[in-house]
Amino acid sequence: MNQYLTSIDNPIETVRYKGLTVKLLATGDGTEVIHHLLEEGARWSMQPQEGGTASESIFIVRGSMKVTIEGETKVVSPGDVLSAAPVQHGFIFSAQEQTEFIYISSQPVFQFFSSIVRENQELAVEVALKDGYTAEHCKRIMQMSMMIGEKMDLSPDDMCTLNYASYLHDVGKIKIPKSILLKEGPLSEEEWKEMKRHCTYGKELLEETDSPYMKASAQIVEQHHERYDGKGYPNGLQKEQISPLASIVSVVDAFDAMTTDRPYRKAMSLSEAIEELKRNKGTMFHPEVVKIFIDLIPEWGKMKQGV
Ligand SMILES: [Fe+2]
């Protein structure tokens, strides 16, 4: 017999991740009922699975979320139900206030989700520990990249890919020896060569994962140090040869690095960093991305102060 009583306070299992609390309430015969709590500004995605045939529905209980369906941005609120059977394209939801919804799937997704989260978190934490950058840096890059992606009207699938790629852009640094990664003085030519390999290492790591979007993000991670004028690395790609998603990560990453204190130098002021972006527009950075980013800077400022 498979009867049991659970509740939001007493779920079968809970996973917490980036402003998102996910609780498994019921499971049996493949079907799962999962409660989600999103903090304001947090994002959640419903993604196609490889070979998946699940029928999936979400029922909004409280709050409101923005979602793009077939190119149209809508707001879902309590009482709304969104269903897909199966999910063919990713949906990205962003909570406009604290939001709760119930997610019902005809195939198990909870373990898949929790293993992706674990994988994602472990990778990001490992980089943070090694590189000296905090997880906050990864989170800021992700939030800002997603804001630019929204302004550029990226497809929901691209938004899902950008979500992973921006958070894990430096994941390849896991494979760089600490003696190089944390060296205080300037790097030798050989060491610099190894350091630059973090793009390729990151691509290889993400290609090995189970999530289709993490796999798709491999190419973006590989390209995040390419330059618009073709003088970047690892492949010296230029202009349209570079994915627009990689151009987004590159601008945001550079700006965050400029405006963050590092052990060996003080942070630039906001206006100095903006000048630096403008100076390198069209050479280092994609001009359109720089333009959109500069328009978003007031929001970026708020985020850095934790407002
Ligand atoms: Fe990097």
Distance from C-alpha of 257 to C-alpha of 134, rounded to nearest angstrom: 12
Distance 195 CA to ligand 1 centre (A): 9
Distance 224 CA to ligand 1 centre (A): 7
In this prediction, residue 181 carries a pLDDT of 79
Distance 11 CA to ligand 1 centre (A): 39
Q: Where are the domains of the chain?
A: 13-108, 114-304
Q: Would you say residue 131 has pLDDT above 80? A: no
Q: Are strands 91-95 and 65-69 parallel, antiparallel or unpaired?
A: antiparallel
Q: Would you say residue 128 has pLDDT above 70? A: no
In this prediction, residue 36 carries a pLDDT of 94
Distance from C-alpha of 209 to C-alpha of 190, rounded to nearest angstrom: 30
- Find the angle CA(209)-CA(214)-CA(219) to the nearest 5 degrees: 105
- CATH number (3.20.20.70, 3.10.20.30, 3.40.50.2000, 1.10.3210.10) of 114-304 reads 1.10.3210.10
Distance 243 CA to ligand 1 centre (A): 16
Distance 222 CA to ligand 1 centre (A): 9
Q: Name the E strands within the chain.
A: 13-17, 20-28, 31-38, 43-46, 56-62, 65-69, 72-76, 81-84, 91-95, 99-105
Distance from C-alpha of 229 to C-alpha of 250, rounded to nearest angstrom: 13
Distance 219 CA to ligand 1 centre (A): 13
Element spanning 151, H or E:
helix 135-151
Query: Under CATH, which architecture does the 13-108 domain have?
Result: Sandwich (2.60)
Distance from C-alpha of 153 to C-alpha of 113, rounded to nearest angstrom: 26
The model's confidence at residue 87, banded by pLDDT at 50, 70 and 90, is confident
In this prediction, residue 86 carries a pLDDT of 82
Distance 208 CA to ligand 1 centre (A): 19
Distance 249 CA to ligand 1 centre (A): 9
As a whole-number percent, the residues of the chain with pLDDT over 90 amount to: 44
In this prediction, residue 148 carries a pLDDT of 94
Distance 221 CA to ligand 1 centre (A): 8
Distance 21 CA to ligand 1 centre (A): 29
Q: Enter the DSSP assignment of 93.
A: E
In this prediction, residue 1 carries a pLDDT of 47
Distance 169 CA to ligand 1 centre (A): 6
In this prediction, residue 155 carries a pLDDT of 87
Distance from C-alpha of 32 to C-alpha of 22, rounded to nearest angstrom: 12
Q: What is the mean pLDDT of the chain?
A: 86
Q: Would you say residue 57 has pLDDT above 70? A: yes
How crowded is the C-beta side of 70, counted as CA atoms within 13 Å? 2
The model's confidence at residue 303, banded by pLDDT at 50, 70 and 90, is low
The pair of three-digit structure tokens given for residue 36, joined into one six-digit string: 């989600």
Distance from C-alpha of 15 to C-alpha of 110, rounded to nearest angstrom: 9
Distance 141 CA to ligand 1 centre (A): 12
Residue-wise burial string across 277-304, b where 16 or more C-beta atoms lie within 10 A, e elsewhere? beebbeebbbeebbebbbebbeebeebe
Distance 181 CA to ligand 1 centre (A): 11
Distance 124 CA to ligand 1 centre (A): 13
Q: What is the mean pLDDT of residues 176-204?
A: 89
| Range from 11-20, 198-207, 225-234, 271-280 carrying the lowest mean pLDDT | 11-20
Distance 158 CA to ligand 1 centre (A): 20
Distance from C-alpha of 285 to C-alpha of 104, rounded to nearest angstrom: 43
- Find the angle CA(121)-CA(144)-CA(232) to the nearest 5 degrees: 85
Q: Would you say residue 306 has pLDDT above 60? A: no
Distance from C-alpha of 22 to C-alpha of 20, rounded to nearest angstrom: 6
Distance 202 CA to ligand 1 centre (A): 9
| Range from 76-90, 101-115, 187-201, 248-262 carrying the lowest mean pLDDT | 101-115
Distance 170 CA to ligand 1 centre (A): 5
Distance 17 CA to ligand 1 centre (A): 23
